[in-house]
Structure 1
Amino acid sequence: MTKSPAQDPSNAAPLHEQIYARIRASIRQGQLKPGQRVPSLRAFAGELGVARGTVQVAYERLLGEGYLIARGPAGTFVSEQIAPSRPHRVAAAAGSSRTPPNQELTEFSIETEGGIPAPLQLGLPALDEFPRKLWTRLMARQVRSAGSLTRPASAGFGPLREALAAYLQRSRGIDAQPHQVFVVPAYTASLALIVDALRLAGESAWVEDPSYPPTAQSLRRLNLQVRNVPVDDHGLDVDFGCQHFPEARLAVVTPSHQSPTGVALTLQRRVELLDWAGERGAWIIEDDYDGEFRYRGHPLPALKSLDTCDRVIYCGTLSKVLYPGLRLAYVVVPQSLVPTMDLACRRTVHGGCPELLQAVAAEFIAQGHFARHIKRMRTLYARRRAMLAEALAPYKTDGFTVCLQDGGMHLLVDVRDDLDDLAMARRAREAGFAVHSLTAWRQGAPGRRGLMMGFTNLRSQTEADRLVAELMRALKA
């Protein structure tokens, strides 16, 4: 933050407004870094030659909007949840509605690895509410035990497999033994492991349309033929898949909270899908990426809990519930697949996940902290979802309609048919927002248009209102 006289003679704004704007600009431009301590009220007032109360007014506004965080005697710090603005980039065809060849990649390019979350980013848990002290204490205990110095088992750390099996039985209705649970680094690793174990390379696979883009990308890299099956208000259209792609041997679905539309697969469709798999000798991958977070009624039972023919392979993740740097996911397979999965694990995973993190996660789950954390996050996310919905409500007349589904970690905002969601998502990314377009997640024919926004890291209604106002200015630019 540059040092300069407090008041700009050419600026008619009140002094506290000028100080507020200067600090805010320093944060947004990256001159003040996330987590950096800012001067105390007394020190900054002395530096600028103004009254302490004037600086206090500016600081209180920045605190209220989420730019600063007060940490008692330690001082005041720049929030770690504020992403610096990115330089504006002018696309070669900025006015075109045509999808660029690398659209699937540019949709995710704003979410840089190793950095702070971009505003409204999808797929992230509430990082500000992660129980760091508890996690650190558990990790210190595991380090002292030195168990993490051994070579990790390729199928996963035994106590973690036990803890996951017990948790899934209680919370998701999945009756599985620990040896049926395999720990992997990520969802894409789960797909690679399953395809290798089942020898599915060269086969056809149903994929929901629209769907999470990395699913289709990963399957193509694994040499599967992707068959797009549309999703309607009842979930995956199983009858369409049976009629158009009867040769498929795999279906990848998100039944609890369809990604990205948010609809739940109805009971009738679940039965139809299980019947198809049983009759065809096909397999179903159930991606239950955020099934714990449902805000009306109880979480839906997993599709796997209805599987009497042992055709469902269940995929879950700890990274989306706890924190993304954990890099822990898991696969639950039918008893008949355990031997082949054991062999595939040794071929594909190459040493497994770090045992230290697996051991900490196992203790976190076994001691009940995981279940309590999910319960607390469910309440928090419901509140933060309402904040984003309220901030978006005034823009309904401009063609933006919030779709409040029963669960999930993001909002889908329908846009008018005459608005281009691809172009709007590009403008949002250029302004620093991690907003996704529904069209970019669509694999087949054109259809409904919309924008997807994450809400889990919003901490106040003021912050939600500010971010949405900035986003709308960018969309209309």
Structure 2
Amino acid sequence: MATTLVLDASSGAPLHEQLYQSLRTAMVTGRLPSGTRLPATRALAEQLDLSRNTVMTAYTRLLAEGYLVGRHGSGTYVADELPERALSARRVQAPPSARRANPPSLSRRGAALAALPPPFPSDLGVPGSVMAFRLGVPALDAFPHELWDRLLHQRWRRSWRDVLSQREPRGFLPLREALANYLATSRGVRCGPEQVLIVNGTQQAMSLVAQVLLDPGDAAWVEDPGYPPARSVLLAAGASLVPVPVDAEGLDVEAASRLRPDARLAVVTPSSQQPLGVHMSLRRRRALLEWAGRTNAWVFEDDYDSEFRYVGRPLAALQGLTPDARVIYSGTFGKVLSPSLRLGYLVVPEELIEVFVKAKTLADVRSPSLEQAVLTDFINQGHFSRHLRRMRVLYAERQALLVEEARRELRGLLEVGPAETGMHLVGWLPPGVDDRTASERAAAAGVVAHPLSVYRLQTLGRGGLLLGYAAVPGPECSEGVRRLRQALG
């Protein structure tokens, strides 16, 4: 048998690891068939000129993993069933008579889900490597990956056992404490760490709110134009959507009150309206809070990218305007750091803590622990604040470049002006030009430019294209604008 085993004394791999791999390969490939009796450890050690401990280490691992079986008084044999066979299910083709002839039977909720349009606007087949002009994507080229890698390894070495055993559905307590401090200082949010709930991004936050606060048929105010995924979550929960027009002051509370004063929920983006980028005036904010208090309704405040404000001081969150505000506040790290991080947070009033924790527990028990721990270190060591400061400068530069390039290259085709906040701009098409057609032509030219009409439910208006700039370096921005000119010209 020794001739079937390949060991290399000059290799950096330990000899017991090489012996294990050689034996395992011989068994999996059939060179050592099932039922073959292996030499005793002492005999194989002599054949291969190895120490007996080296052979025993390899045998012990193979026994533990099920490749070998020991028979008392007889020896060690190759197992009849190798682990690979137990882990690989045999594909069985169902006979034609057994195949389902009818469509699947769905619940009413399942049928409603199946009928929903895609929650996220399509990128129309543009390759994922193209950043111009994707929405909601931060500057991945400026992500502090080396720092993040160092923090990750430090956290794992320091407290891997605590990370693996973390079971709190509300989230890692040190992270919730860090967030409560950050939100109080930077956003004027009134909360303690017990009110912070770590979630898997804004979509889960919205889903938990709909589950806890809405019954099927309940009315919910939504901004029009507004964020399509939020509308999809509400529709999936059986809510009745009430599209409310948005103007220069944000959601029109008076119009909403005339439409459905009995609504149970209002979903708003007051700091940077999605997609128009306007901020809700103080007058409208107070009117919205007054309505919620008077009717026992709730407000869901999606504060998705308020960190990126380029003119004046940051606007305080709606949640912090009054001590008893009936507001559930939501934020995300997907827009600030990376969409793949999938960590966000909810701040809920004290009387709702218990029910939201139960809803989160039923949804997925808890969010990933290691990412929470690393993010805690990132915040507490000051890296988060420094990263935000750098991104504000970078995004302001990238926005200015996009505006400059558009004014030079897209005159008469697309009107692009600066914005005080956010990560994208609205490019206004000439009157009468269909923005869906323009978006398709842009995609054919290799540029992502979502049509504004996708964000509208009822309101009519001039067509536009949404241009994300945060993830677009200078040369790619210039190239993207050039392609837009070709597509729209």
Q: Which residue of 2 aligns with 1:453?
A: 467
Where does the alignment leave 5 or more consecutive residues of structure 1 unmatched? 1-100
Q: Which residue of 2 aligns with 1:126?
A: 139
Could you tell me how far apart the structure 1 residues matched to 2:119 and 2:186 are? Answer: 35
Q: CA deviation at 1:445?
A: 3.0
Q: CA deviation at 1:465?
A: 2.0
Could you tell me how far apart the structure 2 residues matched to 1:441 and 1:333 are? Answer: 27
Could you tell me how far apart the structure 1 residues matched to 2:167 and 2:142 are? Answer: 30
Could you tell me how far apart the structure 2 residues matched to 1:111 and 1:156 are? Answer: 37
Which of 198, 208, 223 matches 1:183? 198
Q: Within 5 A, what are the aligned runs for 1:76-155? A: 107-110=121-124, 115-144=128-157, 145-146=159-160, 147-155=162-170
Q: Which residue of 1 aligns with 2:40?
A: none
Q: Which residue of 1 aligns with 2:267?
A: 252
Which of 410, 431, 438 matches 1:417? 431
Q: Which residue of 1 aligns with 2:280?
A: 265
Could you tell me how far apart the structure 1 residues matched to 2:321 and 2:281 are? Answer: 13
Q: Which residue of 1 aligns with 2:331?
A: 316
Q: TM-score, normalised by structure 1?
A: 0.75
- Would you say 1:217 and 2:228 are equivalent positions? no
Corresponding residue SS for 2:328:
strand
Corresponding residue SS for 1:384:
helix
Q: Which residue of 2 aligns with 1:56?
A: none
Where does the alignment leave 5 or more consecutive residues of structure 2 unmatched? 1-114
Q: Deviations over 1:420-442 (max 9, x none)?
A: 11110111223332211111111
Q: CA deviation at 1:453?
A: 0.5
Structure showing greater radius of gyration is: 2
- Would you say 1:402 and 2:413 are equivalent positions? no
Corresponding residue SS for 1:208:
strand
Could you tell me how far apart the structure 1 residues matched to 2:335 and 2:178 are? Answer: 18
Q: Which residue of 2 aligns with 1:386?
A: 400
> Does structure 1 retain, via aligned residues, the 8 Å contact 2:125–2:443?
no
Q: CA deviation at 1:112?
A: 8.2
Q: Which residue of 1 aligns with 2:453?
A: 439
Q: Which residue of 2 aligns with 1:280?
A: 295
Which of 169, 173, 185 matches 2:188? 173
Corresponding residue SS for 1:138:
helix
Q: Within 5 A, what are the aligned runs for 1:231-250? A: 231-250=246-265
Pair 1:202–1:117, CA change in 2 (3 A):
farther
> Does structure 2 retain, via aligned residues, the 8 Å contact 1:257–1:263?
yes
Q: CA deviation at 1:366?
A: 1.2
Could you tell me how far apart the structure 2 residues matched to 1:325 and 1:356 are? Answer: 14
Paired residue type of 2:461: G
- Would you say 1:377 and 2:391 are equivalent positions? yes
Could you tell me how far apart the structure 1 residues matched to 2:125 and 2:223 are? Answer: 24
Q: CA deviation at 1:362?
A: 0.9
Could you tell me how far apart the structure 1 residues matched to 2:124 and 2:147 are? Answer: 31
Could you tell me how far apart the structure 2 residues matched to 1:102 and 1:395 are? Answer: 38
- Aligned-residue sequence identity (percent) comes to 43
Could you tell me how far apart the structure 1 residues matched to 2:125 and 2:312 are? Answer: 32
> Does structure 1 retain, via aligned residues, the 8 Å contact 2:119–2:229?
no
Q: Which residue of 1 aligns with 2:213?
A: 198
Q: Which has the higher contact order (CA 8 A, sep 6+)?
A: 1
Could you tell me how far apart the structure 2 residues matched to 1:205 and 1:102 are? Answer: 17
Q: Deviations over 1:267-318 (max 9, x none)?
A: 0000110111011100000000000101111111111111332301100001
> Does structure 2 retain, via aligned residues, the 8 Å contact 1:155–1:352?
yes
> Does structure 1 retain, via aligned residues, the 8 Å contact 2:175–2:375?
yes
Q: Deviations over 1:311-350 (max 9, x none)?
A: 01100001110111100011001112112212222122x1
Q: Which residue of 2 aligns with 1:340?
A: 355
Pair 1:248–1:105, CA change in 2 (3 A):
closer
Corresponding residue SS for 1:107:
coil
Q: Deviations over 1:373-418 (max 9, x none)?
A: 1111001100000011111002453241113221000011111112
Q: TM-score, normalised by structure 2?
A: 0.73
Pair 1:347–1:103, CA change in 2 (3 A):
closer
Pair 1:474–1:292, CA change in 2 (3 A):
same
User: Alpha carbon RMSD of aligned pairs, Å?
Assistant: 1.9
